[in-house]
Structure 1
Amino acid sequence: MKRRDLMGAGLALGLAAPATLRAQAAQFTFRLHSFSSPTALDHTMHLDPWAEKVARESNGRIKIDVFPAMQLGGQPRDLVQQLEDGVVDIIWTVPGFTPGRFMGTEGLELPFLNTGLSATESPAAMEFIAKHLADTEYRGIKIIAVHSTDRALIHTSRKPIRTLEDFRGLKLRVAGRFIGEAVTALGATPVGIPLGGVYEATARNQVDGFLINWAITHPFRLYEVAKFHSEPPGVGLFQGMILTLMNGRSYNRLPADLKAVIDANSGPALAANRGAIWDSQTKPAVDATIAAGNEIIAIGPQEKARWQAAVAPAYDAWIAEMNRRGRNGRAMFDDILAITARHGRA
């Protein structure tokens, strides 16, 4: 081979070598599966940056392939089973998608128990779960973060809700069993509908409204089908829980230094950060709702007290379910109140 050819071959090998090293750098590749759209803030401001940060801080030794919109198959209700079966390594889901699986966590979604800012109440959720549920609902799971949505409220299409009596006869979409129990206690009928079907169901008058957080109304343009929005001002009724979970076996495959990378990108601080992201989306959603000409109805302290008294049967149902599962439901309920108050419940 001529000197020029050797030099060219050497240069080509030299240029190729870093790419080859990069391709070989990932020692562990994990699959993250989500039901959310790739353009939603769940991905653009949470899951995608998180995966990139883990890769960067592990010097490329951990690679996380992100699959939004159920790209690996199945329905959102299948995500937890996919995680536990090892089909995927990490999931992003909500408790209500898997009925019966996260009953304890659903207690954090009961009205008036976990209200205020997600940035402060998300760490409260993490504290409660670590204390009461890690050995049961989350056994075999590495909790990356459990954070709450921004404040959730009642949105209705034709009939405004101003008083407790206005609930009677309404059909309202809910996302979980115990918030459904609360709707029943208020006098309405709960209806389970996937998030993607809420707009159409409301437009067709299959439901009269829905309980959902402010931030999600904006990208789904739900202010087009709901014209009335009822909440205690700046507080809302509840916050939904959002779960980012890792298969415990996948986590345990990692050596100690890489576990430390995952640990540094998990926990209450991450939950608070993601909560702040959701909080930042409340005002744009409210502004869009006002721009659409809709009415935001402020529920005053006296009326709020009536609603809170009315939903007591939902609290009792959750306490009874915890007792049935061998837990001390009353003590857990009281601890939700204590922990969320300490973290700034509004």
Structure 2
Amino acid sequence: MRISFPRLTAAIVFASAFAAPAVAQTTVLKYSNWLPPGQAMRMEVVEPWIAEVEKATQGRVKIDTAPKVVGSVPAQFDVARDGQADLVIFIPGYTPNRFDLLEVLQLPFVSDNPEVFAPLADRFYRKNLASYNEFKGVHPLSVYVVSPGQVFNSKRPLRSLADFKGLKIRSPQTSATQALTLMGAVPISKPVSETYELLSSGVIDGTFMPPESIPAFKLTELVPYATIVPGAIYNTVLVLGINEDKWNSLRAEDREAISRISGEAFARNIGRAYAKGDKAAFELMRKAGKPAEVFPAEALAEMKKVLLPIERDWMEKAKKKGMSDPQKVLEQLRADIAAAQ
């Protein structure tokens, strides 16, 4: 029996269609970015991580950076939870009274070393805080700190607690706001993205900020006085988070691959980038004739006593959120940091 050529061709095509391996569908994640060009976190960690995600998942997961931030910077958690974007970096401290337990990582004089504290923060969160589910609706890919906030202002050198009195200082989160209040300054709670406008217009006299971010946000000429507080008045926690439903929709092997390059690995790269950026920022200020001063030891001892209520207040909030022994949790954090040093 003869089979005509057209029929033979059709049979081959039909058979091939079923024999061909399925082509994996690419999932594109929308990332809401608010970090400026040239900023250390963006250039040295986030953008390389975005490229690594595609590589680690063999192209099955790609990340598309939105041309501008979706929503506002303080609302990034909600943006991810509600699915307006899939991937965000959010700052829990921008929404007070919401992520109370996480504030243990932001208390005064916990650590001033981002290379040690950034990866430890992720590990400590997963071991001691994740079970309280403060991030419901958003899966935390990495929980980390950047450099501790130091004090930059346009009015005067800060060499005693009295020098803080009356200064209007931008505060990024609850413990920093409380610290400024206890020292007699006037806290202004605003996101980092608004700092240039606030300083240039005279609405604020200065800002708490990681040193790296002073040149990154073009503030060098606006804050001639830089003060380093050993041990740090506070740290800022950030979270690389993804919409929980979107995360669960990814293939198991892709979730595993992304997790391997996130978590502590991502946080460790953040710590290194900020430590390097801080040195560069201080050198830039020195060359501009604006060297940083270290807060004097005697005044520092007084500051530590004045700021003790911040710890006590956090413990009370933590108990109300269901943490049975906040004192033990804080002691564990300090012990972990001492061991890591």
Asked if TM exceeds 0.5, the reply is yes
Contact map agreement 1:232 1:301 (CA 8 A) in 2: no
Three-state SS of the structure 1 residue aligned to 2:286 is: helix
Please, which of 283, 289, 292 is the counterpart of residue 285 of structure 2? Answer: 289
Alignment of 1:80-99 (within 5 A): 80-99=77-96
Equivalent position amino acid for 1:43 in 2: R
Q: How far has the Cα of 1:191 moved from its partner?
A: 0.9
Alignment of 1:203-282 (within 5 A): 203-232=200-229, 236-282=232-278
Q: How far has the Cα of 1:25 moved from its partner?
A: 5.2
Q: State how far apart, in whole Å, the 1-side matches of 2:148 and 2:44 are.
A: 18
Q: State how far apart, in whole Å, the 2-side matches of 1:225 and 1:60 are.
A: 44
Give the aligned partner of residue 52 of structure 1. Answer: 51
- CA distance 1:253–1:196, shift in 2 (3 Å): closer
Q: State how far apart, in whole Å, the 2-side matches of 1:320 and 1:178 are.
A: 14
Q: How far has the Cα of 1:155 moved from its partner?
A: 1.0
Equivalent position amino acid for 2:271 in 1: G
Computing the radius of gyration from Cα coordinates, the structure with the larger value is 2
Equivalent position amino acid for 1:203 in 2: S
Contact map agreement 2:149 2:233 (CA 8 A) in 1: yes
Is 1:325 the counterpart of 2:321? The answer is: yes
Give the aligned partner of residue 309 of structure 1. Answer: 305
Contact map agreement 1:36 1:68 (CA 8 A) in 2: no
Question: Which segment drifts farther, 319-328 or 207-216?
Answer: 319-328
Q: State how far apart, in whole Å, the 1-side matches of 2:197 and 2:57 are.
A: 44
- CA distance 1:41–1:174, shift in 2 (3 Å): same
Q: How far has the Cα of 1:340 moved from its partner?
A: 2.3
Give the aligned partner of residue 296 of structure 2. Answer: 300
Contact map agreement 2:111 2:232 (CA 8 A) in 1: no
Please, which of 125, 131, 140 is the counterpart of residue 127 of structure 2? Answer: 131
Question: Which segment drifts farther, 289-298 or 173-182?
Answer: 289-298
Three-state SS of the structure 2 residue aligned to 1:281 is: helix
Q: How far has the Cα of 1:188 moved from its partner?
A: 1.3
Question: Unmatched 5+ residue regions in structure 2?
Answer: 1-20
Q: How far has the Cα of 1:65 moved from its partner?
A: 1.2
- CA distance 1:78–1:145, shift in 2 (3 Å): same
Question: Which segment drifts farther, 119-128 or 191-200?
Answer: 191-200
Equivalent position amino acid for 1:66 in 2: T
Give the aligned partner of residue 31 of structure 1. Answer: 30
Q: State how far apart, in whole Å, the 2-side matches of 1:52 and 1:262 are.
A: 11
Contact map agreement 2:142 2:241 (CA 8 A) in 1: yes
Q: How far has the Cα of 1:284 moved from its partner?
A: 1.4
Q: State how far apart, in whole Å, the 1-side matches of 2:112 and 2:40 are.
A: 21
Q: State how far apart, in whole Å, the 2-side matches of 1:119 and 1:68 are.
A: 30
Q: How far has the Cα of 1:181 moved from its partner?
A: 0.7
- CA distance 1:339–1:166, shift in 2 (3 Å): same
Give the aligned partner of residue 143 of structure 2. Answer: 146
Please, which of 66, 72, 76 is the counterpart of residue 75 of structure 1? Answer: 72
With the length of structure 2 as denominator, give the TM-score of the two structures. 0.86
Equivalent position amino acid for 2:164 in 1: F
Q: State how far apart, in whole Å, the 1-side matches of 2:298 and 2:120 are.
A: 27
Three-state SS of the structure 2 residue aligned to 1:214 is: coil
Equivalent position amino acid for 1:308 in 2: K
Equivalent position amino acid for 1:49 in 2: P
Q: State how far apart, in whole Å, the 2-side matches of 1:148 and 1:104 are.
A: 15
Identity %: 25
Equivalent position amino acid for 1:262 in 2: I
Is 1:104 the counterpart of 2:101? The answer is: yes
Question: Unmatched 5+ residue regions in structure 1?
Answer: 1-20
Alignment of 1:173-192 (within 5 A): 173-192=170-189
Equivalent position amino acid for 1:126 in 2: D
Q: How far has the Cα of 1:223 moved from its partner?
A: 2.0
